[in-house]
């Protein structure tokens, strides 16, 4: 029997209309466009400000056009996996709500909370479902980070934006799709990038709200150090394990958290800048949304047979890399 792999056969993406620029942030906190751009590479980010709209609504706006373009009914979807840390509620899962909103009446699924690595973890999980017999798996990465960002904290509010993307996975027996993965985690890093309150460790109280503990806390220097080393190393390792080199890798799809981390990863892999896809300047860090949003933005550049390396690093700590052989030509 031929080996079944999970091939990406369609890509979707969405960012909200409202744009928050570095100049806008200058009015909120002690920062500057020059300072933000130099240290992160970010110029602007999109924010979901529509009343009553949440992460699931952004997902729906990406999924339905993707399925329509592909000519697939939502009722054909078997599994929905959502990488997110900003689900509409603590429960039910965002996947559950998305299924209802798009009319995926025959699907089941769940959320994967791995911060910036959420989409990568979900992609690997979806790949396993395809290998075990599922025919159409929807893998999403979306976050409404503005809902947990303190816009009086200049260390975090400059970094994050809202949005994300999705992909459709289908079985392939010609060698295209997910070829290999290396996924990691280290819970000892949780104190350096996390949301202090709101979970069972520290349930919501007047005190936790007053102390602004429901927002993201990040110890930037420590996170940067871990991210530079681990994201670069795992990307190199997956190349080496699959006999790839700088010439045979066509594209690096790297998590968009900081341009310097992206550059360090590309350098470790020996890649020219022309092979490194970047949209951090326009969207900032959309957490679980960055990788699918990159693929959506640059889909027309990919050709059938291209070798893609996906790489990420997130809070917790979580990180990893996936090697994909692209399954279709641009249309």
- By annotation, the residues acting in catalysis are 116, 255, 285
The Cα 172–Cα 228 span in angstroms is 34
The Cα 128–Cα 151 span in angstroms is 39
- Residue of 117, 113, 315 whose CA lies nearest to 216: 315
- Determine whether 213 is exposed, middle or buried from the number of CB atoms within 10 Å of its CB (0-12, 13-18, 19+): middle
User: Do the strands 307-314 and 318-325 form a parallel or antiparallel pair, or are they unpaired?
Assistant: antiparallel
- Residue of 180, 292, 312 whose CA lies nearest to 239: 180
Task: State the Rg of the chain over Cα.
Answer: 19
For residues 167 and 292, is the Cβ–Cβ distance under 8 A?
yes
Q: Which residues, in sequence order, are bridge partners of residue 217?
A: 194
The Cα 144–Cα 92 span in angstroms is 17
DSSP string for 215-272: S-EE-HHHHHHHHHHHHHHHHHHHHHHTT--TTT--EEEE--S-HHHHHHHHHHHT--
Q: Is the dihedral of CA 262, 268, 273, 276 positive or negative?
A: negative
- Residue of 157, 163, 176 whose CA lies nearest to 305: 176
């Amino acid at each position: 029997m031929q080996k079944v792999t999970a091939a990406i056969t369609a890509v979707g993406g969405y960012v909200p209309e409202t744009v928050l620029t570095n100049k806008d942030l200058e009015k909120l906190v002690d920062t500057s466009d020059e300072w933000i751009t130099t240290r992160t590479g970010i110029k602007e980010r999109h924010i979901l400000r529509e009343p009553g709209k949440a992460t699931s609504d952004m997902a729906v706006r990406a999924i339905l056009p993707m399925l329509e373009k592909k000519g697939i009914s939502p009722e054909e979807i078997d599994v929905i996996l959502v990488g997110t840390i900003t689900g509409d509620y603590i429960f039910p899962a965002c996947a559950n709500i998305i299924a209802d909103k798009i009319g995926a009446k025959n699907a089941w699924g769940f959320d994967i909370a791995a911060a910036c690595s959420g989409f990568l973890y979900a992609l690997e999980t979806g790949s396993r479902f395809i290998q075990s017999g599922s025919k159409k798996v929807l893998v999403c990465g979306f976050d409404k980070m503005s809902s947990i960002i303190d816009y009086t904290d200049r260390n975090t509010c400059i970094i994050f934006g809202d949005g994300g993307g999705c992909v459709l996975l289908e079985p392939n027996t010609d060698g295209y799709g997910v070829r290999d993965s290396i996924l990691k985690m280290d819970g000892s890093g949780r104190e350096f990038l996390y949301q202090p309150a709101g979970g069972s460790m520290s349930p919501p109280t007047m005190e936790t709200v007053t102390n602004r503990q429901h927002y993201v806390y990040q110890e930037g220097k420590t996170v940067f150090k871990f991210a530079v080393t681990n994201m670069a190393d795992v990307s190199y390792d997956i190349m080496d394990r699959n006999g790839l080199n700088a010439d045979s890798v066509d594209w690096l799809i790297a998590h968009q958290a900081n341009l310097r981390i992206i550059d360090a990863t590309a350098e470790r892999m020996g890649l020219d800048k022309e092979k490194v896809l970047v949209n951090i300047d326009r969207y900032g860090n959309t957490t679980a949304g960055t990788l699918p949003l990159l693929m959506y933005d640059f889909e027309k550049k990919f050709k059938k047979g291209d070798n893609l390396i996906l790489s990420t690093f997130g809070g917790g700590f979580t990180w990893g890399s996936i090697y994909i052989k692209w399954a279709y030509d641009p249309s």
